[in-house]
Amino acid sequence: QVQLAESGGGSVQAGGSLRLSCAASGDSYSSYSMAWFRQAPGKEREGVAIIYSHGRIDYSDDVKGRFTISRENAQKTLYLDMTSLRPEDTAVYYCAASNWRMSGSAWSTGGAFAYWGQGTQVIVSS
């Protein structure tokens, strides 16, 4: 089992940058695939980025080229570096952990992730 806690959210102007962190506690962190999701007001949750336990990375088309996901297994920490932020990036961002095998874009629904953080708010103003 793993517990997750996000930090680093805040308010920023369009074009700015933020770094989100997700601190994990528990065993076998490196065996989990880790992902970031977001949910904007009135919208469904959507997958932002995933870094699999074996290192492969995938992004949603909306953030590709602007966001970078990374992890430091020794420190049990997941990161999301967000650049060129847009007002439409405004959402609550969640990190999540999965020890399920996933393929293709199945990760983006979030259904395979058993462990979730409490979320951190990101507000991008125009």
pLDDT value of residue 68 = 98
Mean pLDDT of the chain: 96
Q: How many residues does the chain have?
A: 126
Across the strands, what pairs with 19?
81
Condensed to tens digits (0 to 9), the pLDDT of residues 30-79 reads 999 999 999 999 999 999 999 999 999 999 999 999 999 999 999 999 99
Distance CA 93, CA 9 (A): 8
Cβ 43 vs Cβ 12: under 8 Å: no
Segment 91-123, tens digit of pLDDT: 999 999 999 888 888 899 999 999 999 999 999
